[in-house]
Amino acid sequence: MGRGGTTMTLLDPSIDHHHPGDDDPQSHGPVVEEIEGLIKVFRDGLASRPSIVPFVSPSLPLGTGVESQDAVIDRFTNVWARLYAPTCQVEYKAKITAKLPLVVYFHGGGFCVGSPAWSCYHEFLARLTLEANICVVSVNYRLAPENPLPAAYEDGFKALKWLKQQALLPCNSLWPTGRRGWTRQCDFSRVFLAGDSAGANIAHNLAARLASNNSFEAMSLRPLELKGTILLQPFFGGEERTESEKSLVQPSRSALSLDASDTYWRLALPSGANRDHPWCNPATAYNHGPQGRLEDLMLPPTMVCISEKDILRDRNLQFCRAMAAAGKVVEDVVYEDVGHAFQVLSKSQVAQARTKEMMSHIRSFINQ
């Protein structure tokens, strides 16, 4: 637990923030898939992930105004979450209530890399917690290729079931003695699913699962009530290239190239599936996906944040048009002069300005 400048050990030492490869990868055969600097997959299935982004504890600097702690969701599968809450209520023009909206967040990384303990996500979500005056649950889900889809979706649903249990507890001891219980700060009737890139894909597919007319899973999660989804540069794909996928030339250090996108999907999708699989291609899913037609889904309002220089730009815009055509409430915002995942990976002046705009938009969407 980190409160102010104080560091506390994790709730459970079994929580593993890292996803290391084997100590001797050469013994596992040749590399069959690779995204340079992020992941190597060997012939026998071993995945090696260099520590390109620092892993950090939940502690936060003194004066941040946010407290954070890790919690175990499922020890067997190593699903855990990093929790964030403001240390004090921040007054906005919107009416302040005793409890705060709860955002369940899924990190990006093509389903194959990433962690709530990555420094970039820890810093972004701590700041978002304060700026939007919300509570956040950042979920560590299982990664592909060791755990291909739908493992990440199942872990997302498992996190919601864990939150239901937390909501029903008479008291909560996650925060130190003297602080209001974490559950007492959360308004479980105002839950938002959110994420960036692959995490946004998880948020959407989880919302679609809960919105299916023939599913009682949403009712089974009460008192949790889903009020909206917040999708930051959602990671969708398809066999037919969009114009932005074909024409936008990405710099060498871009967070997502077309080749990397194809590799992520090969590693994440079930064996034998291509990029028109319903989990990947929204247009396909809307016609005959596992949840049924888009028109028949009782989806909550959706906010989609799109980057102008992202290869996913046109696919994200297609998603918004399909949602609107199906009569769904969808709000899209395009951020100029920035690329994929700028809000967590870029420190440029333009990216910082756009990140501030994004946080303001998210706050308004949650409080509308």
Half-sphere exposure of 190 (CA within 13 A, CB side): 17
Q: Which SS3 state, helix, strand or coil, does residue 344 take?
A: helix
Q: Which SS3 state, helix, strand or coil, does residue 9 take?
A: coil
**Could you say which of 197, 212, 261, 346 is catalytic?**
197
Active site residue 197: yes
- Tokens coding 122: 């820890």
Question: Which residues face 138 on adjacent strands?
Answer: 82, 105
Neighbour count for residue 283 (Cβ, 10 Å): 17
Question: Which residues face 186 on adjacent strands?
Answer: 100
- Tokens coding 206: 């989880």
d(CA 74, CA 80): 7
Answer yes or no: are the C-beta atoms of 200 and 166 closer than 8 Å.
Answer: no
The beta strand positions in the chain, using DSSP E, are: 2-3, 6-7, 31-35, 39-42, 47-48, 66-74, 79-86, 100-106, 135-140, 186-196, 226-232, 302-307, 330-335
Cite the active site residues.
197
